[in-house]
Each structure stands twice: as structure tokens, then as C-alpha cells.
Structure 1
């Protein structure tokens, strides 16, 4: 995590009109651009735990009491493959396969540990796994 932000976007970002991190909205927990999801963090610089799940239909609702933030959005993938992007590290190596080809998706992002990550950033500066994300994708209309 760098600069309170990370994103998920198409694995091949060459055709994206607005690649990460251009036009990042720091005032919104989850915001979208074509082929891209932007997520704000509670902490400036740290290593967050990010779990990505791909479902055949809507996943069970997450108990809001377990999360500091939750948001849902529409996501259109042209390739069916996305990767995590960081402002400080760039593109991650691991490819997340949503499907064999492109399509429309729903996504829910849940986050816990935001205050702890912010306090860490204000104190010693970095840490690992204090802030946790669950990112759930499922086909739109399912």
C-alpha cells in the first residue's frame, strides 16, 4: 500500500482510457473507471492483506459489524483477468482470473483495520496485515 491507495484493473492496461492511478478519488472508499477499481486505505504506507474471491452468483452478505467499510460497484472486464496495482509498487505479478473472457461483474469490497492502519502510519510508519480487504466478484445479473 502506498499513498493510502491501491486498485484492481485489467491485467493488460494498454487499452484503458484512464489507467491506475490517474484520476484517483481519495475521498471515496471504492470508486470506478472503465476496467478499473480504486480503493482508499486507512494507512499511508503498509502491506495490507487482500483476499479476492470469484463467485458464480452473489456471495453471502457480509456482516457490517465485522467491517469498517463496505461498498459495491459494477465492473466491466474486457479480458476476464485483473491484477492489483499499488502507487508505490506498480503492477502485482499475480493475475486474478474472473472468467475465460470479458464480461460484466458486480464487486463488493469490505475492509477492516482502517483505524489501526492510520495509527500505524502516524506512528512507526509501516506494518503488515493490519488492514484487511475482502474483494468479491460475481457475474452481473446472476
Structure 2
């Protein structure tokens, strides 16, 4: 069994799939924004980010570029760091649960906890990509 496990976990295909899946939430949001840019602009305006078109464009590029860096394992540590910053910034901007009434407060609290876990996963990915260069 250890040989099978080593083969699966050591496989470049498995490692690539892991990077694609880890970044799915980011690159899929970036792709969606490309096809629904006016909605992305409206979202930025809703959260008080002005000029909304600039924020929409910047976040779209940020999500796609950070994801690509991790998926391709090219400066993955930088891609992970950028997505960590993005994820952390969404907490006070879009998920400030401490300012919300119930039941919205609890729902956003759980989203924040998921964001914290995602930050940990991105940090782990940066460490693993740095330790092993998959090309």
C-alpha cells in the first residue's frame, strides 16, 4: 500500500490537480468576472470600493494571475501570498460579521472561518511548492 500511496502523492498529475483544485475558488471567480464584468463592477460599488471599474479589473487580474502562478508552480509562493492578502482583505470588506445582526452574523462568521482555513491551505501550498519544484 505505501508504494501505491507514494505513486499517487508523488505524481506530477496529482500535484497539478491539487494546485488546480486549491485555487478553483479564485480562478473561477476571475473567469466569471470576465464574462460578467458589469456585475463585478456593481459588486465593488456595493462594498464602497471606488472607482469600482478599477477595483473590478484589478481583482479580476489578481485572482487569475495569483491562481496561474500556483497552478504553473512559477513563483507559487508569490501567487499564494497574493491570494492570502486578497482573502484576508475580503474579511473586513465583505464579511465583517461583527457589524451584522443575526442570523447574518453567524453565516458570515462561518465564511470568515473558511477564509482562515483557505489562508492556511495557501500557505501550505507555498511551502510545498517551494520545497519541491514540479515542472
Which TM-score tier does this pair reach, normalised by the shorter chain?
under 0.3
Greater RCO, CA 8 A, separation 6+ = 1
TM-score (norm 1): 0.20
- Between structure 1 and structure 2, the one with the greater Rg is 2
Query: Greater strand percent: which structure?
Result: 1
